[in-house]
Structure 1
Amino acid sequence: MFRIGSIFIPVTDLEKASKWYEKMLGVKKIDSWEEGVGFYFPSGSTQLALIQVDIPQSSEFIVKNEEKNSYFNFIVDHIEEVYEYLNKNGVKTTEIKDFGGMKYFDFFDLDGNPFSVVDEPINSPFHSANIQKLQNTIF
């Protein structure tokens, strides 16, 4: 059935952005083409592609009262370590917040694209172990 193949991110400087994403997110280059470059994560099957654009593009949407939401998030196991790493490397972040046991924060790439980082507690229905149980359920 369906699964997420790649996530596409608009960037204005493909070369600088590629180096930034490799360093900050630990992605590895698969291949490049005239207007883009594709990466894989050391774990998981979703790929990430950077696409060259002339002007910054929005990678978020408005929910209500001007509150913004990114289109996807990154799941991590040790959110404090990721937060510290990004901050030590000069990446703009928001503070870590708690939402019903889930911890999260946002960070921004060189073009100001926002991304959420999430650390789901094991008792959350959204934790990867609980999703895997749902995926393995036979109807």
Structure 2
Amino acid sequence: MFERIDTVCLTVSNVERSSIWYQELGFQVAFRGGSYQVFTIGNGGVPLTIEEGSISSNENSTYPIFFTKDIKSTYLKLKEIGVEVTELQDDGGNTFFDFYDIDNNKLQVCFW
């Protein structure tokens, strides 16, 4: 029935402001809808969609996980540009950390 994940969608308070933030991280706008935008990320097959709406909690319960080949460099670069990040964690086979966008949406980066 299902063939793949099509996108991961996050609700943001201001789609234009958030779009700029994501583009500064290297995301590319693939499509602009009325109150949403779809981004491609590197060579990945799953895009990220941001949709303008009401932000009702401090942290969303659904979040995307991005893969990187150099997690330490990615971590340091996000910290350098002022992005809120958690500490690097290692669960024995996977190194990861969380980071937050300007609407406090949780995102995660991993290397395994």
| TM-score, normalised relative to structure 1 | 0.73
| Matched residue count | 110
Partner of 1:126: none
- 2:13 matches 1:12: yes
The amino acid that maps onto 1:94 is T
Partner of 2:84: 92
- Mark the CA change 1:30 to 1:72 in structure 2 (over 3 Å): closer, same or farther: closer
What is the CA distance between 1:56 and its match in structure 2?
4.2
The amino acid that maps onto 1:10 is T
- 2:111 matches 1:119: yes
8 Å contact 2:11–2:54 — kept in the other structure? no
Partner of 2:46: 46
For residue 107 of structure 1, the aligned residue among 96, 99, 103 is 99
What is the rounded CA distance, in whole Å, between the counterparts of 1:48 and 1:41 in structure 2?
Answer: 8
Partner of 2:60: 59
Identity value in percent: 28
What is the rounded CA distance, in whole Å, between the counterparts of 2:39 and 2:31 in structure 1?
Answer: 7
What is the CA distance between 1:10 and its match in structure 2?
0.4
Structure (1/2) with the larger helix percentage = 1
Residues 27-55 of structure 1 deviation map (CA, whole Å, 9 limit, x = unaligned): 11112121111111221111111100133
Task: Pick the structure with greater CA Rg.
Answer: 1
What is the rounded CA distance, in whole Å, between the counterparts of 1:71 and 1:55 in structure 2?
Answer: 14
C-alpha RMSD over aligned residues: 1.5
Structure 2, gaps ≥5 residues long: none
| TM-score, normalised relative to structure 2 | 0.89
Partner of 1:73: 65
- Mark the CA change 1:38 to 1:72 in structure 2 (over 3 Å): closer, same or farther: closer
